Structure 1
Amino acid sequence: MASGDDQYHPKDALKEAATASMITGSAGAFISAVQNTLTKRNHGPWGVFTRTGSTIVVFTIMGGAYEFTKNAAANLREKDDSLNPALGGLFAGAVMGLKRGTTPSVLGFGALTAVVMGTYHYTGAALTGYKKDKEIDEFERKQFLRKNRRVPIEQTVAELGEGRGIYPPGYDERRKERIKENYGIDVPAKSTHS
């Protein structure tokens, strides 16, 4: 075991599984209610439980299986990495495949969910992208990147040229000379850019 902040702290797998089961069971009840309202034949309000109730059961077991397996694997391995969500996804996907009742669907859904959950955790567990260091303030990081990527005006002028919003020191004099040379017109000495 590592020392300091890298030390693993055990998780209560049963409590987390119960919480996840309640959350996903509620989502399953909502989806079951939607399925019940979309059927052609009216099954009444109890159709949520009798006709499409298996959706509630599958969602409840999936959430509990995922969270319990993820936390139990983390406790057994004493590591909190992306293998734990992959193992949880394997069991949750297998539960989803059990509804179909074939071995290929159990294995296929399990493997698919394991890959998706493991990859999601490995890439930072956020849809906004991977955050490398959670201790660094995001505003400060962006300010550093802006300062770090600034290019001197001389290099910008050398690459892009003058004009079009790029006005280095002495631009007005050089512009005045070019206009005089090309068109024979004297431009007033008033500075238009600073």
Structure 2
Amino acid sequence: GHGMFLVCLESLYKKVTGCELKYAALIGKPSVVTYNYAELLIRQQAESLGWTQPVERLYAIGDNPMADIYGANLYNRYLQSCHRTRALMQLGGGEPQSQPLEDPHEMTCAEMGGVTGAYGGEEPLPVGCSSILVCTGVYSRDQQELPPDPRHTVTEHRIFHGHRDFRFDPNLTQPSFMVQDVKEAVELVFQQEGWPLE
């Protein structure tokens, strides 16, 4: 947990080679590709159930603000980037000019396979991804908020467990919703979607 495997791997690599380990890609929470793959699986599941309407909204339920919530919010940013890219293409009739990102590690729509999606197809993208924090695991309501500077996150009570190659953005640790447990999270999703609780 908390990225211990990567910390050990990086330490061993540096000890043996004297160099920093360089990554070509990061997979797993909170990376965008992990949530993109989850979206693909949700689409496939909906298809197998005979749903004819595209999946419009995604909800990510988790108990860790620095992995589950961070990743869901990062994926929401990615979806918004894709929607902007599609809108620009419709207005201009072609591929929009590539714009530099504030965060070089943030995945753009083009980097994930373009506006047709990382796994091909012309299906509509979800409107967004809402993060739901449950208070039954890593997170508890009495924890202090994270300071915005990652150099100050190592304290007696709070540690930023994010990967060294992810720029820490405290806004991404803020959930769209916070509930007590998974049951309340599922009820919230039903309420948000206007589905009856039966």
TM class, shorter-chain normalised? under 0.3
Q: Which has the higher strand share?
A: 2
Q: Work out which of the two has the higher radius of gyration on C-alpha atoms and give 1 or 2.
A: 1
| TM-score, length-scaled by structure 1 | 0.22
Q: Which has the higher helix share?
A: 1
Q: Higher relative CO (CA 8 A, sep ≥ 6), structure 1 or 2?
A: 2
